[in-house]
Amino acid sequence: MKEDAASRELPHCAVYARLAVSPIEGVGVFAIRPIPAGTDIFGNDRVEIVWVDRSQLTGLQPGQRKLYDDFGIRRGEQIGCPINFNNLTPGWYCNEPAEGNEPNVVVEADFTFRAARDVAEGDELTVRYAQFSQDDAPSG
């Protein structure tokens, strides 16, 4: 039986942001509509995180290693990443704010990204990586 399009939510309904070129660095995440403070910005986007030991990364091609360096969540000898880098979703692209600015997104212990304050349409979403990633081990 074919689902009636009127009976389900359209694909854009729970979307607050999209990727675009960032003035901070490379690609960033930008609000496509106002985001009220406290909103779970990527609530419909829960990608499984796997933890890889840094010792498993020896011998990788430079491009492969850069995926871990650019997107990995660092916790001692462990690096958290999506189960497959082809599954990178917008939250993985949030940049840190420009120097002197406060982030407009907080990251909770379960990696929920919440608006720290009201965010205007067009604003880049920024986070403090230190909220969830501690680079206290040497890269290899």
Q: What is the pLDDT of residues 90-137, one digit of tens each?
A: 999 999 998 899 999 999 988 899 999 999 999 999 999 988 887 654
Rounded CA-CA distance 52/38 in Å is 31
Q: What's the number of CA atoms in the CB half-sphere (13 Å) around residue 102?
A: 7
Residue 78 buriedness (CB in 10 A; 0-12 / 13-18 / 19+): middle
CATH superfamily of 12-131: SET domain (2.170.270.10)
Residue 139 has pLDDT above 50, yes or no: no
| pLDDT tens per residue, range 1-36 | 455 656 678 888 889 999 999 999 999 999 999 999
pTM value is: 0.84
| Domain chopping of the chain, boundaries | 12-131
Residue ranges of the alpha helices (H) in the chain? 62-71
